[in-house]
């Protein structure tokens, strides 16, 4: 069973690079101890372990998304991370960050507004599309699907 078309593969790579860029912008502040990142994870009740854990998982997603043989694993990890991020926005952070309401007016000033939620949604949607394009590469599911098609 053939893989995705050349155009679909190129589109997948564009989406992967967008996700990688967003993850890089997000992971570096988490891992370097940026005051804004610390403040966000304090609001979530997960400072510092949650901040370091998420930052390292974002770095892992970057690596997985850039290696052709591991793209589907990177995409799955990205989807899980973004479900968590969107859940954090829906429950504690708000869809538009309000530094004053969160009790960190100076530390979160740079994060003010809906940009963080928009980036999480962008990465989620991009990786759902990547996973759809590369569905035949998903272990077990992709091979079972191609074997079922061959048998028919």
Residue 147 has pLDDT above 60, yes or no: no
Confidence of residue 143 (pLDDT cuts 50, 70, 90): low
What tens digit of pLDDT does each residue of 7-40 get?
999 999 999 999 999 999 999 999 999 999 999 9
Domain that holds residue 47: 22-146
Residue 5 included in any domain: no
Tokens of 72: 């589907």
Residue 8 included in any domain: no
Residue 14 included in any domain: no
Residue 3 included in any domain: no
What tens digit of pLDDT does each residue of 97-127 get?
999 999 999 999 989 999 999 999 999 999 9
Confidence of residue 152 (pLDDT cuts 50, 70, 90): very low
Residue 39 included in any domain: yes
Residue 43 included in any domain: yes
Residue 67 has pLDDT above 70, yes or no: yes
Residue 94 included in any domain: yes
Does residue 129 contact residue 78 with C-beta atoms inside 8 Å?
no
Residue 4 included in any domain: no
Question: How many domains is the chain built from?
Answer: 1
**Any bridge partners for residue 113, and if so which?**
97
Secondary structure string (H, E, C) spanning 99-138: CCCCCCCCCCHHHCECHHHHHHHHHHHHHHHHHHHCHHHC
């Amino acid at each position: 069973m053939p893989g995705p078309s050349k155009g679909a593969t190129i589109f997948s790579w564009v989406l992967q690079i967008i996700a990688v860029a967003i993850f890089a912008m997000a992971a570096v502040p988490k891992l370097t101890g940026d005051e804004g990142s610390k403040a966000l994870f304090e609001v979530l009740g997960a400072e510092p372990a949650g901040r370091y854990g998420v930052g390292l998982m974002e770095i892992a997603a970057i690596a997985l998304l850039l290696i052709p043989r591991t793209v589907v694993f990177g995409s799955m990890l990205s989807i899980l991370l973004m479900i968590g991020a969107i859940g954090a926005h829906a429950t504690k952070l708000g869809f538009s960050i309000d530094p004053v309401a969160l009790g960190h007016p100076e530390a979160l000033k740079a994060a003010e507004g809906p940009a963080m939620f928009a980036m999480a949604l962008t990465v989620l949607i991009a990786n759902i599309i990547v996973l759809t394009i590369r569905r035949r590469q998903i272990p077990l599911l992709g091979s079972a699907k191609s074997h079922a098609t061959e048998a028919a």
